[in-house]
Structure 1
Amino acid sequence: MTLIEADPDLPIIRITREFRASREKLLRAHTDPELFVRWIGPDSTTTRIEHWDARTGGSFRYFSVRGDRDWAFRGCFHDVRPDRLVQTFTYEGDPDGVALNTLWFDDLGDGRTRLRTQSLVESFETRDGWLRSGMETGVRDGYRILERMLTDDAG
């Protein structure tokens, strides 16, 4: 189950989900562009990578594509470690809306990992706009695909 919460006191969105996969596999799915494009976003979109350098100090730019429309996203990888990923994230349709995303990969043992994410944005208005944008559908669809992908690739 994917839990998506808006912090009542800060302009933060928190997402938590447990996966039947090792911390290493889950981190790789977030940093390897060939894996990332297989699961990110709503079922109704595909992803095209323009640039991807998933290392501390690296950057990325990708497009979510549906039919003849696309939406561009970009950011920088500030810290890439086995237990944590810190990056900025910007939807280019709102270039001033930069989020600081932190992802924690908590090893639960027995081949399970809890993924905790936190997205800090500049205002409650921006945060609430993200929540109204359909972001929740993309997160839930993507994590469902990711779970299946990680489980299928485990064998």
Structure 2
Amino acid sequence: MNTESNVNVRVTRQFSVSPEKVFDAWLDPEMIGKWMFGPDLRDEEVLRISLDPRVGGSFSFVVRRQGQEIDHVGEYLKMDRPRRLVFTWGVADVEGSSRVMIDIVPLKNGSELTLTHELHSDWADFAGRTKDAWTKMLDVLAEKLS
């Protein structure tokens, strides 16, 4: 991925729980089905969430939205629990993928997560929608972890 042509979407969110709990929520299939996908976020049904949580491992999150099955796929590139998680992000049968970086720092009463989603410049028009979606997901995650 040529970083010179990328558009970076950045979202920061504070949590009232430890960095470990925030980090682990990204790798727990049951939790992912509660905050990243499903009816608490949008009108969709979670069909299958599978992942191999290790560097080089992959994930597949299949949802049904507006009568269509969408398979969100990616590969874990870096894991440094509880500080950093990096993975690719794409949709099966759609060419290309992007990269998501999660950085978590401890705070006195919880933690702060900064998510950076590197989109190829071809997807620049989706930057606002991408930021809104991640913001909503992180808000739901904060509710689920409270």
TM category (shorter chain) comes to 0.7 to 0.9
How many matched pairs? 138
TM-superposed CA distance for 1:107, in Å, is 0.8
How many angstroms apart in 2 are the aligned matches of 1:118 and 1:137?
13
Please say if 1:72 is aligned against 2:68: no
Question: Once the two structures are superposed, what CA deviation does each residue of 1:94-136 show, in whole Å capped at 9, x if it has no partner?
Answer: 322x1111100111122x111101111221x3132343xx434
How many angstroms apart in 1 are the aligned matches of 2:117 and 2:133?
15
Match of 1:141 among 128, 132, 136: 136
Structure of higher RCO (CA pairs closer than 8 Å, 6+ residues apart): 2
How many angstroms apart in 2 are the aligned matches of 1:73 and 1:144?
20
Match of 1:114 in 2: 112
How well do the aligned residues superpose, as a CA RMSD in angstroms?
Answer: 2.1
SS of alignment partner, residue 121 of structure 1? strand
TM-superposed CA distance for 1:39, in Å, is 0.6
TM-score by length of 2: 0.82
Match of 2:32 in 1: 36
Aligned residues with identical type, % of pairs? 22
Match of 1:84 in 2: 84
TM-superposed CA distance for 1:44, in Å, is 2.0
Match of 2:100 in 1: 101
